[in-house]
Amino acid sequence: MTQWNDDRRAARVAFVTGAASGIGAAVCRLLAQQGVAIAAADQNEAGLAALQDSLGAGARFLGAVLDVRDEAAQQAFVAQVEATLGAITDVVPCAGLARSAPAEEMTTEQWDLVLDINLRGTFLTCKAAAAVMLPRGRGSIVCLASVTARGGQPGRANYAASKWGLVGLVKSLATEWGHRGVRVNAVAPNGVDTPMLNVGVPAAFRDGVMLDRTPLGRFAQVEEIAQGIAYLLSDAASYVTGTVLDIDGGLTAGYLTHRHGADYALHQR
């Protein structure tokens, strides 16, 4: 098992995209509590300022307004992080979005935007960070997949394709970079209690379908997803790479489930 000395633990630096809200912000808060320096990127400048305030005066923090589709901007931020905070050890590409529409009505703009942010943007983040981590022979990357990477979903062909592609990306990078000291994994959440879920998903589908078929009977809190990410980043997961960790309240544990997994047929006898 890989053991990191105290100096290496203290020197951890995390590069997180989509950091201004939701899961990304929760990851930043949790890692900062563990003494990790935070390099946060997002397109929401006000959100980054609020995140920095939430971390407290003692946190080591560097923020940047950044579009993950911009390869040069990502490379420049990585260089700035290394010069300001030190060597990047942890990477969490959280930037992502959804644009729902029936497949036959989905515009090429809707398709391209989701694939560019969710998949291409994640790849560019991994690539920019790998340029400095691979020569050092150490590092851990945790990407944000989804239960939608386990099956299709009506109205979200672009989102499903991006998350299926992301799983393929994670497994490919894990096979390429593992022997060079960099681990690559992903988490796959179910619905998470965020504005994206509560505003962006119709209530009838959110509560009548997603929640109904989740055995734990509730959606995740962002802190619960962050805990899974923190585990995969840590040396407690030093022999884990190429894995997609489902954090889904049991949603993908079975099929034809109803009422939080209760045996509907038996109840109707």
Residue numbers annotated as active site: 159
The count of structural domains within the chain is 1
What is the per-residue pLDDT for 193? 79
Angle between helices 108-115 and 157-177 (to 10 degrees): 30
Residue of 152 and 87 predicted with greater confidence: 87
φ, ψ (nearest 5 deg) of residue 242: 75, 20
Has residue 119 been placed in a domain? yes
Q: Is the pLDDT of residue 115 over 70?
A: yes
**Can you give 181-223 as a three-state secondary structure string?**
CEEEEEEEECCECCHHHHHHCCHHHHHHHHCCCCCCCCCECHH
Instruction: For residue 204, tell me if it sits in a domain.
Output: no
In a domain, 262, yes or no: no
Q: Which domain holds residue 229?
A: 6-199+220-254
| Residues whose CB is less than 8 angstroms from the CB of residue 91 and which lie 6 or more positions away in sequence, other chains included | 14, 15, 16, 125, 126, 129, 133, 139, 140, 141, 142
Give kind and range of the element (H or E) at residue 247: strand 244-247
pLDDT 10s digits, 11-59: 899 999 999 999 999 999 999 999 999 999 999 999 999 999 999 889 9
- Name the band, by pLDDT with cuts 50, 70 and 90, for residue 2: very low
pLDDT score recorded for residue 8? 42
- pTM of the complete model beyond 0.95: no
Tracing tokens 């000395």 back to the chain, one arrives at 5
What's the full length of the chain, in residues?
269
Beta strands in 23-181 (DSSP E): 37-42, 61-65, 90-93, 139-144
Within a domain: residue 240?
yes
| Residue 11 maps to a domain | yes
Number of helical H runs and strand E runs in the chain = 11, 7
Note whether residue 211 is domain-resident. Answer: no
pLDDT in tens, 161-197: 999 999 999 999 999 999 999 999 999 999 887 776 7
Residue with tokens 């105290």: 6
Question: Has residue 54 been placed in a domain?
Answer: yes
Task: Tell me whether residue 206 is in a domain.
Answer: no
